[in-house]
């Protein structure tokens, strides 16, 4: 529009001036409007930002490389600590089911049947069901997702219940199966998962073998369709519509690699500093020998090796004109600050605390440890009750009950077989303080006795049976111990016995 203004200015300079003034005012208003918008939405030299992508569009092209690099970090760096910490707290020794039919005898029988079955529940036999929980959590944290396939067995298989579980890494979920059309016009396949028109999961495309296995028989690229009810897909969804899981190391992968490289470079530097390296410098080799010997010519070869090895306490003569210079590697005091900052970022990015990641408790105290563990335990409870129990434990219980009924191990009940899952308790930071706080919470009604027992990772019904058994054993033998609150007060004195009514 500048040329129009110039043409107008030829005939009317005042009109050109008004147009330029108005254009400048519009520019000021536009800049002001832009300054009032979100800074994070502005394009600037401070860095590039991701585009407008769905969760699956962002994950799809990067899934294999993220998974492989995360595993390399776990194999070769201290990142191996992260899956161990998360698995130890999320499942511990196992998230255990307790039958809640309302019939104590039936509950005991169902619990005993599950306990016998879970020991033989995994096809490969390397772990039982509770051990499989830990393996699956590790696989989810490291690779992004993990899968379980339910395999019904013959009634004469010799199993307590004819059902077994096959554990699989996310690699076996064939992400190449991806497109608008699934097996029919009404379905869509996203990263190996088939969805119905309304977004429900219809099934999974499972590779017959792990694509990175040594012995695949050439079938690692062959996938078969498995109905959704036969697969438990364990991953942590972070966005609506996210079909696949992403390694938990994704936000800190570059920081973790930088830390590993920095520590390796520092180690190499320390090795160089530990070597007493020296260099011989010579003056003009044609200089006459002042001691009357023969003149050493420049072209005359040296009589010794070009490299001299120094040993402790060594004193040696140098050739005339030669001097010794020693290497002095530059030193840096930023190692601890850099590693501390990187470790804190990695711990925060993976959901654990700094002391859990590093084992560094030098500056820790009860208050700081408790404050850090409160948030971590909230995350663990969320993962237990919103991920592991609904995605793995409850579907496994449902299939177990179904197969037990079909095989005749259990009878069909109108009310079914309700279950309560007991997650592992948290180890107390200060057992005495934590226990006193829990006792006070029960006394004031903040939590029930059953909740108190479950918080410590125990089954309340089992605990009641144990208390009844041990109290009966004490009474039978006439023992009074100071741990028996029926007869001994907290102060150690005998409990006051209720007075009997007087007989007239």
Range(s) of the domain holding residue 255: 249-283+318-350
Matching residue, tokens 């939590």: 447
Instruction: Please write the tens of the pLDDT for every residue from 401-446.
Output: 999 999 999 999 999 999 999 999 888 888 888 888 888 988 898 8
Whether pLDDT at 276 is above 90: no
Is residue 153 domain-shared with residue 272, that is, in the same domain?
Answer: no
Is residue 258 domain-shared with residue 234, that is, in the same domain?
Answer: no
Instruction: Please write the tens of the pLDDT for every residue from 173-202.
Output: 999 888 866 677 788 999 999 999 898 999
Instruction: Please write the tens of the pLDDT for every residue from 201-220.
Output: 999 999 988 888 877 666 66
Name the DSSP class of 289: P
| Edge-to-edge strand ranges of the sheet holding 163-169 | 163-169, 145-152, 231-235
pLDDT at 410: 95
Q: Which of 99 and 334 is assigned the larger pLDDT?
A: 99
For residue 223, which of 242, 253, 203, 246 has the smallest C-alpha distance? Answer: 203
Element (DSSP H or E) covering residue 194: strand 193-195
295 near 286, Cβ under 8 Å?
A: yes
Is residue 464 domain-shared with residue 344, that is, in the same domain?
Answer: no
* Exposure b/e, 364-383, CB count within 10 A at least 16 = b: eeeeeeeebbeebeeebeeb
Let me know if residue 120 belongs to a domain: yes
Share of the chain above pLDDT 70, in %: 77
Is residue 127 domain-shared with residue 241, that is, in the same domain?
Answer: yes
Q: Which of 206 and 12 is assigned the larger pLDDT?
A: 206
Mean pLDDT of 56-62: 88
Is residue 165 domain-shared with residue 255, that is, in the same domain?
Answer: no
Let me know if residue 188 belongs to a domain: no
Angle between helical axes of 81-90 and 366-383 (0-180°, round to 10) = 70
Residue 25 in tokens: 């005012």
Average pLDDT, the chain: 83
| pLDDT band at residue 152 using 50, 70 and 90 as cut-offs | very high
Instruction: Please write the tens of the pLDDT for every residue from 278-332.
Output: 666 666 555 554 444 455 555 555 555 555 565 555 556 667 777 766 666 666 6
Whether pLDDT at 494 is above 90: no
pLDDT at 103: 93
| Cα 338 from Cα 332, distance rounded (Å) | 11
Quote the number of domains for the chain. 3
| Cα 62 from Cα 418, distance rounded (Å) | 41
Let me know if residue 261 belongs to a domain: yes
Q: What is the DSSP string of 465-482?
A: HHHHHHHHHHHHHT---T
Whether pLDDT at 86 is above 70: yes
| Cα 43 from Cα 46, distance rounded (Å) | 8
pLDDT at 290: 46
| Cα 172 from Cα 170, distance rounded (Å) | 5
Instruction: Please write the tens of the pLDDT for every residue from 456-472.
Output: 888 888 888 888 888 88
Residue ending a domain, choose from 350, 373, 399? 350
Q: What is the DSSP string of 338-362?
A: HHHHHHHHHHHHHTS-HHHHH---T
Top mean-pLDDT range of 34-43, 159-168, 270-279, 325-334: 159-168
Cβ partners under 8 Å of residue 219, min gap 6? 207, 208, 209
Q: Which of 226 and 16 is assigned the larger pLDDT?
A: 226
Angle between helical axes of 335-350 and 253-274 (0-180°, round to 10) = 150
Of 60-74, 133-147, 362-376, which gets the smallest average pLDDT? Answer: 362-376
How crowded is the C-beta side of 425, counted as CA atoms within 13 Å?
16
Is residue 124 domain-shared with residue 268, that is, in the same domain?
Answer: no
Q: Which of 245 and 317 is assigned the larger pLDDT?
A: 245
Let me know if residue 133 belongs to a domain: yes
Bridge partners of 189? Answer: 179, 194
Is residue 84 domain-shared with residue 120, that is, in the same domain?
Answer: yes
| pLDDT band at residue 106 using 50, 70 and 90 as cut-offs | very high
pLDDT at 222: 86
Length reported for the chain:
504
- The H helix count followed by the E strand count for the chain is 15, 11
Let me know if residue 433 belongs to a domain: yes
- For 96, 370, 424, 428, the CA distances from 92, given in Å and listed in that order, are 10, 20, 6, 14
Let me know if residue 2 belongs to a domain: no
| pLDDT band at residue 133 using 50, 70 and 90 as cut-offs | very high
130 near 93, Cβ under 8 Å?
A: yes
Let me know if residue 194 belongs to a domain: no
Is residue 241 domain-shared with residue 135, that is, in the same domain?
Answer: yes
Is residue 104 domain-shared with residue 233, that is, in the same domain?
Answer: yes
Instruction: Please write the tens of the pLDDT for every residue from 411-423.
Output: 999 999 999 999 9
Is residue 241 domain-shared with residue 343, that is, in the same domain?
Answer: no
Would you report the helix, strand and coil content of the chain in percent, each value rounded to 5?
A: 45, 10, 40
**Measured on CA atoms in the order 342, 345, 348, 354, is the torsion positive or negative?**
positive
Is residue 149 domain-shared with residue 256, that is, in the same domain?
Answer: no
Of 149-153, 244-248, 271-275, 458-462, which gets the smallest average pLDDT? Answer: 271-275
Is residue 82 domain-shared with residue 167, that is, in the same domain?
Answer: yes
Let me know if residue 482 belongs to a domain: yes
pLDDT at 12: 72
pLDDT at 372: 85
Cβ partners under 8 Å of residue 459, min gap 6? 96, 98, 422, 453
């Amino acid at each position: 529009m500048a040329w129009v203004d110039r043409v107008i200015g030829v005939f009317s300079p005042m009109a050109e001036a008004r147009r330029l003034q108005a254009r400048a005012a519009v520019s000021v208003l536009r800049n002001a409007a832009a300054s009032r918008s979100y800074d994070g939405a502005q394009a600037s030299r401070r860095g590039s930002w991701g585009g407008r992508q769905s969760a699956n569009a962002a994950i799809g092209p990067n899934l294999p490389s993220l998974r492989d690099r995360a595993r390399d970090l776990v194999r070769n760096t201290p990142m191996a600590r992260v899956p161990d910490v998360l698995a130890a707290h999320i499942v511990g020794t196992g998230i255990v089911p307790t039958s809640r039919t309302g019939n104590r005898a039936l509950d005991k029988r169902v619990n005993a049947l599950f306990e016998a079955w879970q020991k033989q529940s995994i096809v490969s036999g390397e772990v039982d069901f509770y051990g499989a929980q830990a393996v699956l959590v590790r696989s989810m944290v490291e690779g992004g997702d993990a899968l379980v396939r339910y395999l019904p067995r013959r009634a004469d298989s010799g199993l307590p219940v004819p059902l077994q579980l096959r554990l699989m890494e996310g690699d076996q979920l064939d992400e190449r199966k991806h497109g608008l059309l699934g097996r029919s016009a009404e379905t869509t396949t996203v990263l190996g998962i088939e969805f119905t028109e309304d977004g429900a999961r219809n099934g999974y495309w499972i590779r017959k073998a792990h694509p990175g296995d040594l012995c695949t028989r050439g079938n690692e690229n062959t996938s078969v369709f498995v109905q959704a009810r036969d697969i438990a897909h364990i991953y942590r969804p972070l966005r609506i519509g996210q079909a696949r899981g992403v390694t938990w190391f994704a936000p800190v992968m570059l920081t973790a690699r930088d830390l590993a490289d920095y520590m390796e470079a520092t180690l190499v530097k320390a090795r160089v500093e530990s070597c007493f390296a020296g260099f011989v410098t010579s003056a003009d080799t044609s200089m006459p020998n002042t001691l009357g010997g023969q003149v050493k010519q420049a072209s005359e070869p040296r009589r010794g090796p070009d490299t001299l090895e120094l040993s402790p306490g060594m004193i040696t003569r140098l050739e005339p004109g030669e001097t010794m210079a020693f290497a002095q590697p530059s030193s840096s005091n930023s190692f601890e600050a850099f590693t501390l900052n990187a470790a804190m970022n990695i711990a925060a990015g993976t959901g654990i605390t700094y002391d859990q990641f590093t084992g560094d408790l030098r500056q820790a105290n009860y208050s700081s440890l408790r404050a850090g563990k409160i948030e971590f335990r909230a995350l663990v409870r969320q993962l237990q009750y919103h991920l592991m129990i609904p995605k793995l434990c409850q579907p496994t219980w449902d299939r177990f009950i179904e197969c037990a009924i079909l095989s005749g191990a259990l009878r069909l009940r109108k009310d079914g077989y309700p279950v309560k899952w007991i997650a592992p308790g948290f180890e107390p930071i200060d057992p005495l303080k934590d226990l006193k706080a829990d006792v006070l919470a029960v006394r004031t009604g903040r939590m029930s006795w059953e909740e108190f027992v479950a918080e410590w990772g125990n089954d309340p019904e089992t605990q009641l049976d144990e208390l009844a058994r041990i109290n009966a054993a004490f009474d039978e033998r006439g023992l009074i111990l100071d741990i028996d609150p029926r007869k001994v007060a907290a102060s150690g004195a005998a409990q006051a016995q209720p007075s009997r009514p007087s007989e007239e």
